[in-house]
Amino acid sequence: MTPDLDVFPGAFPHCPPSDLDSPDLIVEHDWQAFRAVERMTDHWARPGWHAGVRSYYWMLTFPHVAELMSRARQCQEMLAHLGMDCVPEDGLHVTLARIGGTGLVADDQVQFLAAVAEKMTLSAFEVAAHPMAGSRGAVRFTLAPWSPLIRLHAALSEAGRRARVPGGKPTAAFRPHLGVQYSNRECPAAPVIESVARLRDLEPVPLEIGSVELVELWRTSGRWPAYRWRVVRSVPLRPPAASRADLGSHGS
Q: What is the pLDDT of residues 158-210, one digit of tens each?
A: 999 999 999 999 999 999 999 999 999 999 999 999 999 999 999 999 999 99
Q: What pLDDT band is residue 79 in, cutting at 50, 70 and 90?
A: very high
Question: Which sequence spans correspond to the domains of the chain?
Answer: 23-250
- Orientation angle between helical segments 107-119 and 147-163, nearest 10 degrees: 130
User: Does residue 55 contact residue 110 with C-beta atoms inside 8 Å?
Assistant: no
Buried b (16+ CB within 10 A) or exposed e, 127-166: bbbbbbbbbbbbbbbbbbbbbbbbbbbbbbbebbeebebe
User: Does residue 23 contact residue 205 with C-beta atoms inside 8 Å?
Assistant: no
pTM, entire model: 0.92
**pLDDT at residue 244 is higher than 60:** no
Give the residue-averaged pLDDT of 241-245. 50
| Domain 23-250: assigned CATH number | 3.90.1140.10
**pLDDT at residue 242 is higher than 60:** no
3-class SS of residue 165: coil
pLDDT for 125-155, tens place per residue? 999 999 999 999 999 999 999 999 999 999 9
**pLDDT at residue 249 is higher than 60:** no
Give the per-residue pLDDT at 243.
47
Q: Cα separation of 143 and 23, whole Å? A: 8
**pLDDT at residue 245 is higher than 50:** no
Give the residue-averaged pLDDT of 56-79. 97
pLDDT for 216-237, tens place per residue? 999 998 788 999 999 999 999 9
DSSP 57-115: EEEEE-TT-HHHHHHHHHHHHHTGGG-PEEPPGGG-EEEEEEEEETTTS-HHHHHHHHH
203: left (phi over 0), alpha (psi -120 to 50) or beta: beta
pLDDT for 29-48, tens place per residue? 999 999 999 999 999 998 87
Give the per-residue pLDDT at 246.
45
Percent of the chain at pLDDT > 90 equals 87
pLDDT for 81-129, tens place per residue? 999 999 999 999 999 999 999 999 999 999 999 999 999 989 999 999 9
3-class SS of residue 29: helix
Q: One-letter amino acid identity for 37?
A: V
